[in-house]
Structure 1
């Protein structure tokens, strides 16, 4: 598609950049495999244990390492060639996927083994995510960054649509081991795509900066910029109160609707459909409403729509609500991620992405485990819907006390003094669920 043709569709402009196309296509294939594994392991743990706390706990383990590793990885992403850094992390994840596959084929797959490997996979993912977000930021000019993040979320959610459906089919015909095997093979695509991307070496002063100094600099910038800090805290709140709907899908399908892998796949795919629709529409919406207004609308509506999903009386009603929830969730995180990246210069994007990823990881790890544990004791619907409505109350309170809180998200880039090295000193946008 020509650059002129792409210019008519603001949501697709990032496809006019060669490196972004390579990263996008390779990540799509890999994410299809990842969602096959996510479905397989979620159904496996829920079926074996029968406990929402166990399912939520496994999901939390994948994000828990981000609490410590994400800020460090953000610094590393700004010190090394981001392409090579991401490739090394993907290779580590491929090895872990191969171990899971081997255990499944030999009949030795257990819940403790899944827990340990999920934790290790979380370590690798936490190291990769900020560098991947920064890799995308460098692959397009600033004016196409919202398009790039929207399309990146779209490919992730296309994987969410195709992967679970393919995974459910493979599990039904060949068993869990083959679903895990396909995921292992899918890493070849993203490694091949990264090999075709141009190197992204850091600036000379970034290589010379001490690791601790770089870490403190990123934390200082994140904390002292009031708008950036508000965006990071908002990402934490979304992850704590709303995001657990992702990890608890198997619990909802199996315990509430008394279905299995097919119903889980159906709900996950519905979220993906909503997210893809949002990715196509978000460019025109940003043009019409502006980044600030779009973010505010998403924050007001995501809680009520999540509550409608959790209280849905039938599986098909839940899937319909999930389409809307998937669209709002994608638009919310993309808006937060883009705003955070545009608040800082290129040299600090990896670090800010690391801090953002840390906030998301803390919120999601605590939220998915705690909501799962409380669901076992009080009931799935009451806890999850109540959490979503509590988030709405927080948003309305913030709107009442600080109506102009996100006004500064409209400028495209922070002033240059923010980029200057400081004597003392992201993840935000790195992790897309």
Structure 2
């Protein structure tokens, strides 16, 4: 299938009047709040799960496996969910996802109250939470595009990523504090409350109440066409490649922060929570910078450059001898991650024609899902080499792969 030329849109920075009007759109504010609250719950839950599982098993591999299970639905069902999202009202799909996430974490609250909390229950909750997470691109972020329009999508995504990154400060900090003071049940209970707030907010949405177009072809046929279109489109192919590298070599390393914090730096739960929040602090700053200076000709540099910064700084964190230096390096990790995350869905949305956007974002979710292989690789290496050395090795691998595949992602720069 021949790739179509990307639509050229006038995109203004967050300092402009048009960008400020993004916040004036009621449905955008609701979707933004759903994303913020849900992301706080996710990062809180992942931090608490990492600490609890490591304390119960003393296994870095099992810690990585919890995040692997959370990523599994993206890898298995990302493209299918992208196709299915075109066939149902997205508002209803979002509400169903929020109910699923509430049920998943509610199971952990109940198990802790009964004194029966076990690793297998945590694993099940991680899997169910991941199924909801896999719908974020083809459902919630497509609703954001519907609410604000293509011309304001990059500003909307910058604000959305800024909220997500703020949650990476609040989530781990809240999780570590509650875990230390009240135990895992209180932390999971707060997650449940966050999901209920998200559900109540999503009930007020006015977008996504109808199916945009009827489909006459089967789900599997459309899924195959989605992959074929993305792989033949130079810009989409480039975005997917960088996404795969990031999710194989960069993102999995976050699962080792609790392990390195405890075993390498000698920190307790509160210290680990503060350390993990440094990544989010840097990401919050990075998202603000992206929002202030974003322009179409900078999209590719922000996207690829952010990936390289993330990999290099994460390797430095893994080998850091002190908590202070480790925290500063994680701030830099967050800045790089913000550049990657802000541009990832934006580049897909702006490069794909309107009728292909949901399915292209579904393919993106599948590319993100390859991270489960990264978590598996990192977990196995951590068992044999130790968490710190394994993290540094995996980050170096990512930088080398990017260097070797520049010919695939250079179209991002040629067409910007």
- TM-score between the two structures when normalised by the length of structure 2: 0.91
C-alpha distance after superposition, 1:281-336 (max 9, x if no partner): 10333239621232343244332222112111111111111011011012113212
| Superposition deviation, residue 348 in structure 1 | 2.0
Change (3 A) 1:403 1:98: closer
Pick aligned residue for 1:407 from 383, 404, 413: 413
Match of 1:186 in 2: 194
* Conserved? CA contact 2:30–2:201, under 8 Å: yes
Are residue 285 (structure 1) and residue 287 (structure 2) matched?
Answer: no
* Conserved? CA contact 2:53–2:62, under 8 Å: yes
Match of 1:325 in 2: 333
| Superposition deviation, residue 74 in structure 1 | 0.4
Q: Aligned partners of 2:409 and 2:121: how far apart in 1?
A: 48
| Superposition deviation, residue 10 in structure 1 | 7.7
Counterparts of residues 384-423 of structure 1 (less than 5 Å): 384-399=391-406, 401=407, 404-407=410-413, 410=416
| Superposition deviation, residue 145 in structure 1 | 1.1
Are residue 205 (structure 1) and residue 219 (structure 2) matched?
Answer: no
Q: Aligned partners of 1:391 and 1:64: how far apart in 2?
A: 21
| Larger displacement relative to structure 2 (67-76 or 343-352) | 343-352
SS of 1:64 mapped into structure 2: helix
Match of 2:178 in 1: 170
Q: Aligned partners of 1:283 and 1:128: how far apart in 2?
A: 21
| Superposition deviation, residue 99 in structure 1 | 0.8
Match of 2:266 in 1: 258
Superposed CA RMSD: 2.2
Q: Aligned partners of 1:310 and 1:289: how far apart in 2?
A: 33
* Conserved? CA contact 1:70–1:127, under 8 Å: yes
Gaps of 5+ in 1: 411-433
* Conserved? CA contact 1:6–1:13, under 8 Å: no
* Conserved? CA contact 1:11–1:279, under 8 Å: no
Q: Aligned partners of 1:299 and 1:409: how far apart in 2?
A: 19
* Conserved? CA contact 2:13–2:295, under 8 Å: no
Q: Aligned partners of 1:242 and 1:26: how far apart in 2?
A: 26
Are residue 47 (structure 1) and residue 52 (structure 2) matched?
Answer: no
- TM-score between the two structures when normalised by the length of structure 1: 0.87
Match of 1:57 in 2: 65
C-alpha distance after superposition, 1:177-216 (max 9, x if no partner): 111111111112211221111132232334x443223222
Are residue 214 (structure 1) and residue 222 (structure 2) matched?
Answer: yes
* Conserved? CA contact 2:112–2:184, under 8 Å: yes
C-alpha distance after superposition, 1:205-239 (max 9, x if no partner): 34x44322322221221122122112102101111
Match of 2:385 in 1: 378
C-alpha distance after superposition, 1:99-122 (max 9, x if no partner): 110001111011122112222322
| Superposition deviation, residue 392 in structure 1 | 1.6
* Conserved? CA contact 1:71–1:351, under 8 Å: yes
| Superposition deviation, residue 256 in structure 1 | 1.0
Q: Aligned partners of 2:30 and 2:36: how far apart in 1?
A: 10
| Superposition deviation, residue 80 in structure 1 | 1.4
Q: Aligned partners of 2:109 and 2:259: how far apart in 1?
A: 23
Change (3 A) 1:5 1:143: closer
Pick aligned residue for 2:96 from 63, 88, 93: 88
Match of 1:275 in 2: 283
| Superposition deviation, residue 7 in structure 1 | 5.0
Counterparts of residues 138-153 of structure 1 (less than 5 Å): 138-153=146-161
SS of 2:305 mapped into structure 1: helix
Change (3 A) 1:390 1:146: same
SS of 1:374 mapped into structure 2: helix
Gaps of 5+ in 2: 1-11
C-alpha distance after superposition, 1:46-96 (max 9, x if no partner): 111111101001110111122221111101111111111111111011111
* Conserved? CA contact 2:13–2:294, under 8 Å: no
Q: Aligned partners of 2:376 and 2:268: how far apart in 1?
A: 21
| Larger displacement relative to structure 2 (98-107 or 111-120) | 111-120
* Conserved? CA contact 1:267–1:319, under 8 Å: yes
